[in-house]
Amino acid sequence: MPNQLIAGYERFRSGYFRQNEAHLRALAGGQSPTVALISCCDSRVSPAILFDAAPGDLFIIRNVANLVPPYESEGRYHGTSAALEFAVKALEVADIVVLGHARCGGIRALLEGAGGGDRQSFLGRWMEIAAPALTRLAATDEAAPEARQRACEREALALSLENLLTFPWLKARVEAGRLAIHGWYYDVVEGTLHRLDPRTRALEAIAGGGAEAKNLKPEA
């Protein structure tokens, strides 16, 4: 038994739960988050902690490498698509944030060949979603491994934003001004948060680091 989890729950029950019992009991009647956040499964990236969010604030969708699959009707990647459908159609969130991050293990697996189509590997089949990001890296073939990974993380983030708009009911809400989509990037080393420009792939610092936060442009 993972005793550290039980001990953590006891601290939650005697601390946070008791201090916020009225709010948590009210949430039992239904949720109404305004933001859906697609995040990586990486244990170093905890959206509720990163954004100091309370229960009920965020509808969090987690998967390997924070990928959004393209719209399709066969149900190959139905887990993430189903969560998106619920967030948009049932909860009517106002914003969708795709949160990429530095040193992503899923992107590293893609770069090392896991996206090459190992049909016996769940990871390989999942990372095929991001295969177009590799094609877009043609100009960075000679880049250092760390720079190449960072570029691929940006490309995969941009691809996920594009894939969001392949869902017809989601695109319709964006075009009507009822829904906004955002690509953000968290640097796990520096603790800074950036916004991705999907056109230029540049990262603009939006929080963390103060005057030290820098805008990061794609490596040549």
pLDDT at 114: 55
Determine the Cα–Cα distance for residues 196 and 97; give it in Å rounded to an integer. 11
Give the chain's radius of gyration (CA, Å): 18
pTM: 0.89
Residues 6+ away with beta carbon under 8 Å from 71: 81, 163, 166, 167, 168
Determine the Cα–Cα distance for residues 135 and 130; give it in Å rounded to an integer. 10
Give, in words, the CATH class of 31-212. alpha beta
3-state SS class at 103: coil
Determine the Cα–Cα distance for residues 121 and 74; give it in Å rounded to an integer. 19
Give kind and range of the element (H or E) at residue 124: helix 122-127
Which residues of the chain carry a pLDDT beneath 70? 75, 114-119, 139-143, 208-220
Question: In which residue are the tokens 């944030």 written?
Answer: 97
pLDDT at 217: 47
**Domain ranges (residues) in the chain:** 1-30, 31-212
Determine the Cα–Cα distance for residues 158 and 67; give it in Å rounded to an integer. 10
pLDDT at 112: 87
Residue pair 203/216 in contact by the 8 Å Cβ criterion? yes
pLDDT at 132: 93
Residue pair 153/100 in contact by the 8 Å Cβ criterion? yes
Task: Return the structure tokens found at 179.
Answer: 């829904």
Determine the Cα–Cα distance for residues 220 and 218; give it in Å rounded to an integer. 6
pLDDT at 212: 45
Give kind and range of the element (H or E) at residue 63: strand 58-63
Distance, C-alpha 198 to centroid of its chain: 15
3-state SS class at 22: helix
3-state SS class at 184: strand
